[in-house]
Structure 1
Amino acid sequence: MKTVAEILRSKLHAAVYSVSPETSVLDAIKLMAEKGIGALVVLQNGRLAGIVSERDYARKVALLERSAFSAQVSEIMTAEVVTVGPSQSAQECMQLMTDRHLRHLPVMAEGELIGLLSIGDLVKETIAEQARLIQQLEQYIRGE
Structure 2
Amino acid sequence: MVKSFQGVRMVESKTPAQPILVKDHMSTNLVTFRPEDTIDQVMEILTKRKISGAPVVDESGGLVGIISEVDCLREIIKGKYTNTVRFPAQVKDLMTKEVMTLSPDISLFDAAQKFLDYQIRRFPVLREGRLVGQISLSDVVRAFPKLKHTTW
**Fold match (TM-score > 0.5):** yes
**Is there any run of 5+ residues in structure 2 with no aligned partner, and where?**
1-18
Residue by residue over 1:73-125, the C-alpha shift from the partner in whole angstroms, topping out at 9 and shown as x without a partner, is 11111100000001111111111111111101100001110001111100011
2:101 to 83, 86, 108: 83
2:123–2:134 Cα contact (<8 Å) kept: yes
In structure 2, distance between residues paired with 1:64 and 1:93: 35
AA partner of residue 110 (structure 1): E
- Over the aligned positions, Cα root-mean-square deviation in angstroms equals 1.7
SS in structure 2 at match of 1:106 = strand
Give yes or no for the alignment of 1:5 onto 2:30.
Answer: no
| Aligned-residue offset at 1:69 | 2.2
Identity of aligned residues (%): 28
Give yes or no for the alignment of 1:72 onto 2:90.
Answer: yes
In structure 1, distance between residues paired with 2:98 and 2:109: 22
What residue is the counterpart of 1:111 in the other structure?
129
What residue is the counterpart of 1:54 in the other structure?
69
TM-score for both structures, normalised by structure 2: 0.76
**Is there any run of 5+ residues in structure 1 with no aligned partner, and where?**
137-144
1:21 to 32, 35, 39: 35
2:32–2:54 Cα contact (<8 Å) kept: yes
Query: Would the alpha carbon gap of residues 64 and 92 (structure 1) be closer, same or farther in structure 2, given more than 3 Å must change?
Result: farther
Moved over 6 A (4+): none
SS in structure 2 at match of 1:57 = helix
In structure 2, distance between residues paired with 1:77 and 1:61: 11
| Aligned-residue offset at 1:65 | 4.1
AA partner of residue 21 (structure 2): T
What residue is the counterpart of 2:116 in the other structure?
98
Residue by residue over 1:26-54, the C-alpha shift from the partner in whole angstroms, topping out at 9 and shown as x without a partner, is 10111111111111110112110000011
TM-score for both structures, normalised by structure 1: 0.80
Aligned length: 127
Name which one, 1 or 2, has greater alpha-carbon Rg. Answer: 2
SS in structure 1 at match of 2:117 = helix
In structure 2, distance between residues paired with 1:97 and 1:56: 19
In structure 2, distance between residues paired with 1:120 and 1:54: 16
What residue is the counterpart of 1:120 in the other structure?
138
